[in-house]
Amino acid sequence: MNRRLWMIAAVGAVFFLAVWASVAAGVTKAADEGGLQLFDSWQWLDPFTFLGNGKTIGIISVMLVIGLWFFRRDVYGMVLVVVAVGGGYGINEWIKHVVGRERPPHSEIGGFSFPSGHAMIGTIYLLLLAYFLAQTRTKRGERAAIYGVFATLALLTGLSRLSLQVHYPSDVLGGFVLGGAYLSACLALYRMSIHRGDRW
């Protein structure tokens, strides 16, 4: 399992760098403009943006940390949440300032555009929730359903940034990929920590 997580993290990191390079070279310009036009009429996606708001993420992350303590006494899990969500936010902000990409022309919010924080952090915390919830189920089908639901929510959260016209499609794609890669690395380290703790 850990080998698979490290593989996902490595492939995701390479893919993200490729998206970054494509954005920097202007390769994604036509697709970005076409994507914004496509999603401009998809207003039904707009409400899902609240799942990626800082306040929503903060409240749910705190509740997850509290739940991991009271129901499982999982200190490693609590650290995982803090490192994954907090670290992901820090990485996202750092890369945004390094890239310095302006948002779409008619965006009414400030800050830089690449990669999308909603897509990246939404992917991290929603799939992290799915990971811990899936551990409470024994049937493979139930675990798959949990991952499916939360992955869909993460997808809709990212796509809502396109319907709101505040990110380019490549921003959202970059956020999804980097979020998945970073979360995979965090989960691999978490599982290593648990196994070492058991040996001690």
Judge whether residue 68 has pLDDT over 50.
Answer: yes
Report if residue 125 sits inside a domain: yes
Mean pLDDT of 10-19: 97
* Residues 150, 126: Cα–Cα separation, whole Å: 6
CB-based contact 162:44 (threshold 8 Å): no
Q: Is 127 helix (H, G, I), strand (E, B) or coil?
A: helix
Mean pLDDT (the chain) is 93
pLDDT band at 71 (very low <50, low <70, confident <90, very high): confident
Report if residue 193 sits inside a domain: yes
* Residues 82, 172: Cα–Cα separation, whole Å: 23
Report if residue 188 sits inside a domain: yes
Residue 174's pLDDT is 97
Mean pLDDT of 116-142: 94
Residue 109's pLDDT is 86
Report if residue 65 sits inside a domain: yes
Report if residue 38 sits inside a domain: no
State the Rg of the chain over Cα. Answer: 17
Task: Give the predicted TM-score (pTM) of the model.
Answer: 0.93
For the chain, how many structural domains are there in total? 1
CB-based contact 15:177 (threshold 8 Å): yes
Judge whether residue 194 has pLDDT over 80.
Answer: no
Judge whether residue 199 has pLDDT over 60.
Answer: no
Report if residue 43 sits inside a domain: no
Q: What are phi and psi of 61, to 5 degrees?
A: -65, -40
pLDDT band at 196 (very low <50, low <70, confident <90, very high): low
pLDDT band at 197 (very low <50, low <70, confident <90, very high): low
Segments forming the whole domain that contains residue 97: 2-23+48-199
Residue 106's pLDDT is 81
Contacts of 185 (CB under 8 A, 6+ apart): 5, 6, 9
Mean pLDDT of 169-195: 94
pLDDT band at 200 (very low <50, low <70, confident <90, very high): very low
Report if residue 124 sits inside a domain: yes
Buried b (16+ CB within 10 A) or exposed e, 141-159: eebeebeeebeebbbbbbb
pLDDT tens per residue across span 79-119? 999 999 999 999 999 999 999 999 998 888 888 999 999 99
Report if residue 28 sits inside a domain: no
